[in-house]
Amino acid sequence: MDRFVWTNGLLEMNETLVIQQRGVRLYDGEEKAKLDVGVVLLSTHRLLWRDQKNHECCICIPLSQIIFFEEQAAGIGKSAKIVIHLHPAPENKEPGPYQHSKYSYIELSFKEHGQIEFYRRLTEEMTQKRWENTPVSQTSHGRTRAVGIVGIERKLEEKRKETDKNISEAFEDLSKLMEKAKEMVELSKSIANKIKDKQGDITEDETIRFKSYLLSMGIANPVTRETHGSGTQYHIQLAKQLGDMLQAPLEERGGMMALTEVYCLVNRARGMELLSPEDLVNACKMFESLKLPLRLRVFDSGVMVVQLQSHSEEEMIASALDNVSDKGSLTAEEFAKLLGLSVLLAKERLLLAEKMGHLCRDDSVEGLRFYPNLF
C-alpha cells in the first residue's frame, strides 16, 4: 500500500477510463487497509481508488508498477479478490496514504462483485500497455490538467450528484406513498372491526369486494388473519387454470407433485405476471370446493403436494407395498428411481404406507430402508 500516491482523481490528457467498480475494499498485503469501501477505477495509465463516501480521498498507482496479478476466488464470508504484486516504489514518489508497508502486494476485495470483468480489462490493459505509447505528465506539473478532459470528470461528478438526488427524491416520494398506504390499512382495520361487531349489514357481495381490496393492497385479512386468501375471484380463476394446466404434468409424475415443483413449473411457463407462493397455495386450497380433479395435500412432515383426485390413497399405498415386496426392501432413493418420482415424494409415499401399517423401517446410518410389515 506504500506504492499509492494521493491524486485529485482527474484523468490526464490521453488517459482514458476503461472500467470502474463500486464496493471495493483495499488490502495491504493480507491486512485490511485503513480505508473504507470505495470505487476502483482502471484507466489506460493508472489504477485509481476513491472513497465512496468521501470523494476527496482518492489514490492511484501507475500500471507500470504492476509486476503481476491474479484472481482469488470467493470463499465463505469472503469476497472474490484480485491480488496485485508491485515493483518497489520509486525514490521520488509523491506522498500517499502509507509511508511504509511490509508487503509488496495489495488486494482488491470486490464486495459487490464485478471482479470478473475488472480482471479481464486489467489483463487487456496490462497486455496492451497503452501508457507506453501515450505518456502523460505526472504530478510534476502540479494540479494543472489538460482542458477538455476536465469535462469527463465533471460529467461523472454530475452523474453522481444526479443519482444521489434521484435516490433522495425517490425516498421522499416513497415516504409520501407509504403515508397513503397506511391510511388504507387503518380503514381496512376499521371495516374489519365493524364486520366483527356487526355494525351494519354486509352482503356476501360486499365481503368479496372487501377481500379483493385487501388482496390489491397486500393487507392481511384482519378478521380471519389469513392473508386475504381463498374466496377471491382471482384465486378461483387461478384454481381453474391450474386444474387444466397440471393434468398432464401430474400424470407424467405418478399423480403427485411437490408444491415447490408446481410453483417453478407454472412460473417458468408464465414468464411474467408470476404467481406468489401464497397465490398458489390459496388457489390450490380451492380445488375441492370447485370440484376440480386435483387436491392439495399436506403430509405430516409439512411437505405440501398437489395430487390427482384419481390417484387414491389406497392405490398409492398398495403400489408401494407391491414394489417393496417385489424387491424385498427399498430405500426412498431406490423407490424414486423405480417410479420416476422425486426422492422427496417417494419418501412420503413410503412413510404413508408405514403409517398405515403396511411397511416397517430399518433406520441406520446407512440409510432408511423399508420392508413389508410382517407383524
CB-based contact 161:55 (threshold 8 Å): no
For residues 91 and 363, which CB has a smaller minimum distance to another protein in the complex?
363
Q: Is position 276 an interface residue for another protein (rule: CB under 8 A)?
A: yes
Out of 15, 28, 125, 279, which residue is the one contacting another protein (CB under 8 A)? Answer: 279
Tell me the closest approach of the beta carbon of residue 263 to another protein, in angstroms.
6
Residues 293-332 that bind another protein (CB under 8 A): 298, 301-304
Give the DSSP H or E segment for 163: helix 150-197
What contacts 50, CB < 8 A, 6 or more positions away?
9, 38, 39, 41, 57, 58, 59
C-alpha cell at 297: 395435500
Tell me the closest approach of the beta carbon of residue 78 to another protein, in angstroms.
9
Residues 16-35 that bind another protein (CB under 8 A): none
Distance CA 364, CA 47 (A): 59
Out of 267, 319, 329, 373, which residue is the one contacting another protein (CB under 8 A)? Answer: 267
For residues 219 and 239, which CB has a smaller minimum distance to another protein in the complex?
219
Q: What single letter denotes the amino acid at residue 159?
A: K
Tell me the closest approach of the beta carbon of residue 5 to another protein, in angstroms.
32
Q: Is position 147 an interface residue for another protein (rule: CB under 8 A)?
A: no
Distance CA 289, CA 207 (A): 18
Tell me the closest approach of the beta carbon of residue 217 to another protein, in angstroms.
6
With the C-alpha atoms ordered 270, 274, 277, 279, is the resulting torsion angle positive or negative?
Answer: negative
Please identify, among the stretches 53-61, 64-72, 126-134, 196-204, the one whose residues bind another protein according to the rule CB under 8 A.
196-204
Distance CA 79, CA 108 (A): 10
Residues 214-253 that bind another protein (CB under 8 A): 215-220, 227-228, 234
Please identify, among the stretches 97-105, 125-133, 138-146, 211-219, the one whose residues bind another protein according to the rule CB under 8 A.
211-219
Q: Nearest Cα to 66, choosing from 93, 47, 40?
A: 47
Q: Is position 290 an interface residue for another protein (rule: CB under 8 A)?
A: no
Q: Is position 178 an interface residue for another protein (rule: CB under 8 A)?
A: yes
Angle ∠(87,93,99) on CA atoms, nearest 5: 85
CB-based contact 212:233 (threshold 8 Å): yes
Q: Is position 360 an interface residue for another protein (rule: CB under 8 A)?
A: no
Residues 72-111 that bind another protein (CB under 8 A): 73-77
